Amino acid sequence: MIKNKNKIILAVMMIIVLSFSACNKTDNSNTSSTANESGETSAENANDGQSNENMGEALISVKDNSASLGEGLFLLRDIERYYSQSYGPQILQQQAQSIKESVMVGLERLYVLKQYAQDKGITLDDESNKEIEELLSEYKESVPPGTLEKDGITDEDIRSVFELNFLSKKVIDAELTDFKVDEAKIEENLLADPFYQNIEKFGVEEALKTVKVQHILISTKDEAGSEKSEEEVAKAKEEAGRIMKLFTDEGKTFEELVTEYSEDPGKVSNNGVYEFGRGEMVPEFEEASFTMKNGDTQIVKSDFGFHIINKIDETLPDQETVDKVMEYKDLAKEREIDAQKSAEFDEVYKTSIEGKYDVTKNQELWNNVKMSYEMNEESSENTEVETSSDK
């Protein structure tokens, strides 16, 4: 089940790559549009949550193939979710026009590639079709109930977009017969991801492990943040040893010692307790915390001073999480390869495919489509009006 869910992400990411790689190009296709000359639409024509009466209209046509409004909405909503999760919901308002434009350009490109595939006799095999049906089923399980119905998006719309994605990848593979993966570039990009770095360095289980410790800091910095003298540092080390013995030999509670001696400003809010994973603390503190056993106490020196660390607990990831991360590694590499292929294929598309077919776009229909945040705002306004009426 996890594997297919990752493939859903990969499929949508591939579409996003195609969409945005095409978005800034000059449109050289012979395009007609049903929009008025200004490209504007009246408020009266705006869709209210995407009315079903328009769902059967063609959004884009390339020869005998037409994209439905539902396909465009499916792509738009998925890209909205991706951007909202990656950059925060505010990005949708800031980039609304470019996001909508990218969907239209990307969908046009996918349909041009579909027509090109038909002309070249490139088709999907039974295995691909079976995989698409699995993707469709699991995608529907992954979105909240009623989400697709609200926009009038049908199974056929989703299936069609996945078919377009699979077909476009087959076209790319057919055209790039001499393509060679730049392994060094992939590794360079992957190692720029701190999470991936930790997986490579520590292994999956260790990279996902978290520890919980309580510590007392005896600082070796003066008020200006500079390192104290050697004599003062030596005294700080001696003091740390003395405090540790109060805990290990004399029965003082660690909480009492934190309150009385720790010079860590964080003790005010957390009583010196920290729970963290790899890459979140200074190296000396992290290494000791991860290598100690539960219940052990140890003194380590960092740039901040001497830390008396009492390890409380550690948490290992469950197998499902480990499996997901293992597939994350494979997925990350697949995405890098797809990005390389798309970049190389872009030249082929511009020189040999783009402009080869007449493309008709119903721009007015697309202009009427609302972003999800607009629909939410309208819903909130309607709720307020109803509440006021009730009063």
pLDDT in tens, 33-42: 333 333 333 3
Measured distance CA(347)–CA(335) in Å, rounded: 19
Mean pLDDT, residues 246-252: 93
Q: Can you tell me the mean pLDDT for 251-258?
A: 94
Give percent of the chain with pLDDT exceeding 90. Answer: 42
Residue 150 has pLDDT above 80, yes or no: yes
Quick one: pLDDT at residue 46? 35
**266 with 339, same domain?**
no
Q: Give pLDDT, residue 72.
A: 92
132 vs 26, which has greater pLDDT?
Answer: 132
Q: Which helix H or strand E contains 162, and what residues bound it?
A: helix 155-175
Span 220-224, average pLDDT: 89
pLDDT digits (tens, 9 = 90+) for 327-356: 777 777 888 888 888 888 988 999 999 889
Picking from 288, 315, 342, the residue at the C-terminal end of a domain is: 315
Q: Domain span at residue 346?
A: 2-190+320-390
Total domains in the chain come to 2
Identity (one letter) of the amino acid at 99?
Answer: I
Is the pLDDT at 64 greater than 80, yes or no?
A: yes
Query: pLDDT of 99-132, one tens digit each?
Result: 899 899 999 999 999 999 999 999 999 999 999 9
Domain assignment present for residue 200? The answer is no
Distance from C-alpha of 65 to C-alpha of 61, rounded to nearest angstrom:
6
| Mean pLDDT on 69-79 | 90
Same domain, 149 and 32: yes
Whole-number pLDDT of residue 326: 77
Task: Indicate whether 273 pLDDT > 70.
Answer: yes
Query: Is position 295 within any domain?
Result: yes
Q: Are residues 235 and 340 in the same domain?
A: no
Give, for 148, the enclosing helix (H) or strand (E).
helix 147-151
Query: Lowest-confidence range among 266-270, 306-310, 381-385?
Result: 381-385
Query: Across all residues in the chain, what is the average pLDDT?
Result: 81
Q: Are residues 178 and 218 in the same domain?
A: no
Torsion angle in degrees (nearest 10) through CA of 271, 275, 279, 282:
20
- Output the pLDDT for position 28: 42
Of the candidates 183, 194, 181, the residue with the CA atom closest to the CA atom of residue 342: 181
119 located within any domain: yes
Q: Residue 391's pLDDT is what?
A: 57
Q: Are residues 153 and 28 in the same domain?
A: yes
The answer to whether 301 and 217 have CB atoms below 8 angstroms apart is: no
Question: What is the pLDDT at residue 196?
Answer: 77
pLDDT of residue 31: 40
| Per-residue pLDDT, 208 | 85
Least confident of 176-180, 198-202, 299-303, 312-316: 198-202
Sheet of strand 31-33, all strands in order from the earlier edge strand to the far edge:
31-33, 359-361, 58-62, 65-68
Backbone angles phi, psi at 200, to 5 degrees: -65, -35
Dihedral sign computed on CA atoms, order 107, 193, 340, 137: negative
pLDDT band at 70 (very low <50, low <70, confident <90, very high): very high
Q: Is the confidence at residue 248, as pLDDT, over 90?
A: yes
> What SS3 state is found at 340?
helix
Do 378 and 301 lie in one domain? The reply is no
One domain for residues 281 and 378? no
pTM over 0.85: no
Residues 236 and 170 in one domain: no
Q: Please tell me the predicted confidence (pLDDT) of residue 202.
A: 82
Region of poorest pLDDT, from 181-185, 191-195, 264-268, 274-278: 191-195
Confidence of residue 228 (pLDDT cuts 50, 70, 90): very high
Across 74-83, 284-293, 367-376, 378-387, which has the greatest mean pLDDT? 284-293
For residue 184, being part of any structural domain is answered with yes
Residue 217 shares a structural domain with residue 110 = no
116 in any annotated domain: yes
What is the structure's pLDDT at 378? 58
Alpha carbon distances (Å) from 125 to 135, 179, 192, 202: 15, 22, 37, 40
One DSSP character per residue, 211-269 reads EEEEEEEEE-B-TTSPBPPHHHHHHHHHHHHHHHHHHHTS---HHHHHHHH---TTHHH
Within-domain flag for 197: no
Residues 356 and 285 in one domain: no
**DSSP string covering 73-136, please?**
HHHHHHHHHHHHHHH-THHHHHTHHHHHHHHHHHHHHHHHHHHHHHHHT----HHHHHHHHHHH
Whether the per-residue pLDDT at 309 is higher than 60: the answer is: yes
CATH code at position 230:
3.10.50.40
Cβ–Cβ under 8 Å, residues 211 and 311: yes
